[in-house]
Amino acid sequence: MTKRFALGIFEDEDVLLHAVENVREAGVKIYEVFTPFPIHGIDDAMGIERSRLPIAAFFFGLTGLSFALWMQIYMLGFDWPMIIGGKPHIALPAFIPVSFELTVLFCCHGMVITFYTISKLYPRWKTPVLDVRSTDDKFVMAIEVNENTDMTKLTQILRDNGASEVNQKEMSKF
Amino acid sequence: MQHVSPVREPLVTGGKTYHDVTQDVCRQVEAAPNIRWMAALSVALLLLGVFFYSVYRTLWYGIGEWGLNKTIGWAWDITNFVWWVGIGHAGTLISAVLLLFRQKWRTSINRAAEAMTIFAVICAAMFPVLHMGRPWLAFYVFPLQNTLGSLWANFNSPLLWDVFAISTYFSVSLVFWYTGLVPDFATIRDRAKGPIAKVAYSLLSMGWKGSAKHWSRYETVSLILAGVSTPLVLSVHTIVSMDFATSVVPGWHTTIFPPYFVAGAIFSGFAMVLTLMLITRVVFKLEDYITIEHIALMNKIMMVTGSIVGVAYITEFFIAWYSQVEFESYAFINRATGPYWWAYAMMMTCNVITPQLVWFRRVRYSIPLTFILSIIVNIGMWFERFVIIVTSLHRDYLPSSWAMFSPTIIDVGIYVGTIGLFFTLFLLFAKFFPVINMAEVKAVLKYTVDNGPTYTGHDPHHVTHPATTHGVPASAPVNYDKHD
């Protein structure tokens, strides 16, 4: 399905930040903002909810910890108990290092895999972008438009809020 | 909005714009390899050849090719292992600990330092695996059931903890580094001209477009990874030190080892970061990003950790006397005055005296002196591990089994070979990957400009013009007031 976008190009992140607030106040729905680096405060301006990835990370870590403890206690305590160094079969202090490492391992990889999955980031042969300068030095505000959109008014709003250019682009797959 | 300090030294000099950052970092990636890079790579590949030959000798003829004997069962191999792992720690310190402390100067060095971590850990891992003698049985270290029975791995053993620590550390560092690289690969992808580069960087960039939502998640992920990597890096060298500390060998059996090893790791790691950065900034013309201030700051960290190491050496000596354990006291007297006194003297000079020179501002801000210091520290830290391992083992409880260690050419070959392996990987990284984190540097660019643009009101007609002052990053003219 082909989508049509109006692109407001901004030169500075502070101008963009306030433009996002003003454009949203003017009742225009912003499709997405593309920037070369993270801008602090844009989450609030765009109304992006706080990511729940930390919660996911916590539970992945908990899984790792439980798995590590289960593995060590089962293997050395029940499946094949052996006396090593005159210590009890289930010598918990000696299990701390491996438990910690597996907590970290599960936490990190679980969170990162979740991040790539929910963000739909995976290797692609070709990556279509709305404006190639958005990974270099321009801040691009994309607004989805159709035949009924009043482009003159939209252009004026973007220009008034500091856009240095207003372009249009059609994307077949985006 | 960020507070811009008028007294703070700029993090990036030369009044760079966002586009300049992209240009300066991508130049190396896009240009054809230059003659200096090719010359360096040839030397590294030659050393890599030495590595492969030495590994072949070790595997074909066995561990007897090394200089180990029945008294000294651990020598250069474990020395090199600890040395390389220690070097790796500075990368994680820069990317994780300094991120948590909000040290923004880290942005221009973290990419290369993290790469150094990964390559150093690869080099480190070679030694325990080769010391196994039969590396194809390396899977025995994992808790898999013994093929003949149902015997599991021994979780009470620090050597097994090491397996978990090093593999977790390596994989987490790799993921951390790669996630940071994704936005920069996207930048290169969008600039790429050649068909191969386009496809390669498109694949590497995972379809990153820099949307606000993705950046928000990206920052969360970075923060959590940093938060988790910080205790991880401390745990790794703690566990490495426990390989020694949990034994009963005099000179190893000390509770001071974990913090002492961690400080030593950061010390040697920063020395290696300095060595690499001082070369990289000149070869790739990145003096505006890796400034003299960066070098001075890294020197300070080197001085602090070096002093901690110095205090640890003295504490060890004091405790050896204070414990009144005969064997313990002898181990330390033997270290300083025995047949390996020269190794001890090297360690003390390089690690205790050298970093104290950094107290002088002139030394801290001098590039040639810093370079020499960093090399000396690298040498000193290698000797520290050699002293701890070999001098403790060569004379323990039973005088009839006292012995000396002398390395064979294969020992030397493997060590020199891993340096070749390290530099081969680093040079390939430096050519094909962005050596500076462009996105993060752009994000702190304004922080550095003394009169950065200030946007005060919500009314666009009262915007302070962002492009009027000197050195303002976003200096491309903003033409919205034409519509007024």
Average pLDDT over residues B300-329: 91
Say if B249 is an interface residue toward chain A (CB within 8 Å): no
User: Is the pTM above the cut of 0.95?
Assistant: no
Domain boundary among A81, A97, A118: A118
User: How many angstroms separate the CA atoms of B293 and B287, rounded?
Assistant: 11
User: How many angstroms separate the CA atoms of B436 and B41, rounded?
Assistant: 20
Supply the pLDDT for residue B100.
85
Q: Do A80 and B182 touch (CB under 8 A)?
A: no
HSE-CB at B290 with a 13 A cutoff on CA atoms is 27
Q: Do B183 and A135 touch (CB under 8 A)?
A: yes
Strands A32-34 and A139-145, by their bridges, are: antiparallel
Give percent above pLDDT 90 in chain A: 28
Nearest to A34 among B164, B165, B209 (CB): B209
pLDDT at B454 over 80: no
Taking all residues of chain B, what is their mean pLDDT, rounded to a whole number? Answer: 86
Residue A22 lies in a domain: yes
Supply the pLDDT for residue B6.
59
Q: Do B212 and A119 touch (CB under 8 A)?
A: no
Residue B172 lies in a domain: yes
Torsion of Cα atoms, B320 then B325 then B330 then B332, to 10°: -20
- Nearest CA of chain A to the CA of B281: how many Å? 22
* Phi, psi angles (nearest 5°) of residue A6: -95, 130
Supply the pLDDT for residue B465.
43
Say if A53 is an interface residue toward chain B (CB within 8 Å): yes
Nearest to B179 among A18, A40, A112 (CB): A112
HSE-CB at B95 with a 13 A cutoff on CA atoms is 35
Taking all residues of chain A, what is their mean pLDDT, rounded to a whole number? Answer: 88
Average pLDDT over residues B394-402: 89
Say if B453 is an interface residue toward chain A (CB within 8 Å): yes
Residue A135 lies in a domain: yes
A167 in the same domain as A110: no
Question: Which range (A106-115, B156-165, B384-393, B451-460) has the least confidence?
Answer: B451-460
Supply the pLDDT for residue B447.
63
With beta carbons less than 8 A apart as the criterion, state whether B437 and B110 touch. yes
Left, alpha or beta for B14 (phi > 0: left; psi -120 to 50: alpha)? left
Question: How many domains does chain A divide into?
Answer: 2
CATH at residue A35: 3.30.70
Q: Do B151 and A80 touch (CB under 8 A)?
A: yes
Domain of residue A20: give its range: 3-50+130-171
With beta carbons less than 8 A apart as the criterion, state whether B347 and B384 touch. yes
HSE-CB at B390 with a 13 A cutoff on CA atoms is 27
Say if A81 is an interface residue toward chain B (CB within 8 Å): no
Residue A156 lies in a domain: yes
Q: Do B231 and A100 touch (CB under 8 A)?
A: yes
> Which of B256, B358, B234 is CA-nearest to residue B304?
B358
Q: How confident is the model at residue B450 (pLDDT cuts 50, 70, 90)?
A: very low
Crossing angle of helices B409-432 and B76-92, rounded to 10°: 20
- All residues of chain A having their beta carbon less than 8 Å from the beta carbon of residue B231 are 100, 104
- All residues of chain B having their beta carbon less than 8 Å from the beta carbon of residue A46 are 212-213
Question: How many domains does chain B divide into?
Answer: 1
Convert the pLDDT of each residue in B188-223 to its tens digit. 998 888 888 889 999 999 989 888 899 999 999 999
Domain of residue B161: give its range: 18-249+256-301+409-453
Convert the pLDDT of each residue in B103-158 to its tens digit. 888 888 889 999 999 999 999 999 999 998 888 888 888 888 776 666 788 888 89
| ipTM for this model | 0.93
Residue in B closest to A89 by C-alpha: B156
Q: What is the DSSP string of B325-371?
A: -HHHHHHHHHHHHSTTHHHHHHHHIIIIIGGGGGGSHHHHT-HHHHH
Supply the pLDDT for residue B7.
62
DSSP state of B102: T
Q: Which two tokens stand for residue B146?
A: 């013994």
Q: How confident is the model at residue B315 (pLDDT cuts 50, 70, 90)?
A: very high
Say if A75 is an interface residue toward chain B (CB within 8 Å): yes
- Nearest CA of chain A to the CA of B2: how many Å? 9
Residue A107 lies in a domain: yes
Q: What is the DSSP string of B416-459?
A: HHHHHHHHHHHHHHHHHS-SS-HHHHHHHTGGG-TT------SS
Say if A77 is an interface residue toward chain B (CB within 8 Å): no
Q: Which two tokens stand for residue A54?
A: 């930390």
Task: Please give the order of strands across the beta sheet that includes A139-145.
Answer: A32-34, A139-145, A3-10, A165-171
Q: Which carries the bigger pLDDT value, residue B284 or residue B265?
A: B265
In chain A, the DSSP E strands lie at: 3-10, 32-34, 139-145, 165-171
Average pLDDT over residues B169-176: 94
Please calculate the CA angle B377-B379-B380 and round it to the nearest 5 degrees: 60
From chain A residues 96-155, the ones with a CB under 8 A of any chain B CB are 97-98, 100-102, 104-105, 107-109, 111-112, 115-116, 118-127, 129-130, 132-137
With beta carbons less than 8 A apart as the criterion, state whether B351 and B377 touch. yes
pLDDT at A106 over 90: yes
Average pLDDT over residues A151-164: 84
Residue A36 lies in a domain: yes
With beta carbons less than 8 A apart as the criterion, state whether B363 and B295 touch. no
pLDDT at A133 over 90: no
Burial status of residue B449 (CB atoms within 10 A of its CB: 0-12, 13-18, 19 or more): buried
With beta carbons less than 8 A apart as the criterion, state whether A20 and A34 touch. no
pLDDT at B304 over 80: yes
Q: What is the DSSP string of B449-464?
A: -TT------SSGGGPP
Q: Which carries the bigger pLDDT value, residue B478 or residue A67?
A: A67
Q: Do B212 and A33 touch (CB under 8 A)?
A: yes
Residues present in chain A in total: 174
Nearest to B152 among A76, A108, A109 (CB): A76
Residue A103 lies in a domain: yes
Residue A123 lies in a domain: no
pLDDT at B452 over 90: no
Residues in contact with A112: Cβ distance below 8 Å, sequence separation at least 6, in sequence order: B175, B179, B221, B225
Supply the pLDDT for residue B461.
45
pLDDT at A139 over 80: yes
Residue B353 lies in a domain: no
Nearest to B228 among A71, A108, A156 (CB): A108
- Nearest CA of chain B to the CA of A60: how many Å? 12
Residue B181 lies in a domain: yes
Residue B92 lies in a domain: yes
Residue in A closest to B229 by C-alpha: A104
pLDDT at A15 over 90: no
Q: Number of Cβ pairs closer than 8 Å across A and B? A: 254
User: How many angstroms separate the CA atoms of B117 and B84, rounded?
Assistant: 9
Average pLDDT over residues B368-373: 92
Q: Which residue is associated with the tokens 């990511």?
A: A51
Left, alpha or beta for B382 (phi > 0: left; psi -120 to 50: alpha)? alpha
Residue A125 lies in a domain: no
Residue in A closest to B211 by C-alpha: A34
Residue B243 lies in a domain: yes
Supply the pLDDT for residue B455.
41
Q: Do A137 and B143 touch (CB under 8 A)?
A: no
Residues in contact with B204: Cβ distance below 8 Å, sequence separation at least 6, in sequence order: A123, B181, B182, B185, B189
- Which helix H or strand E contains B152, and what residues bound it? none
User: How many angstroms separate the CA atoms of B373 and B275, rounded?
Assistant: 9
Q: Do B203 and A123 touch (CB under 8 A)?
A: yes
With beta carbons less than 8 A apart as the criterion, state whether B29 and B399 touch. no
Convert the pLDDT of each residue in A18-71 to its tens digit. 888 888 888 888 888 999 988 888 888 888 888 899 999 999 999 999 999 999
Burial B266-278 (b: 16+ CB within 10 A, else e): bbbbbbbbbbbbb
pLDDT at B309 over 90: yes
User: How many angstroms separate the CA atoms of A167 and A149, rounded?
Assistant: 14
Q: How confident is the model at residue B12 (pLDDT cuts 50, 70, 90)?
A: confident
Average pLDDT over residues B156-170: 92
Q: Do B212 and A39 touch (CB under 8 A)?
A: yes
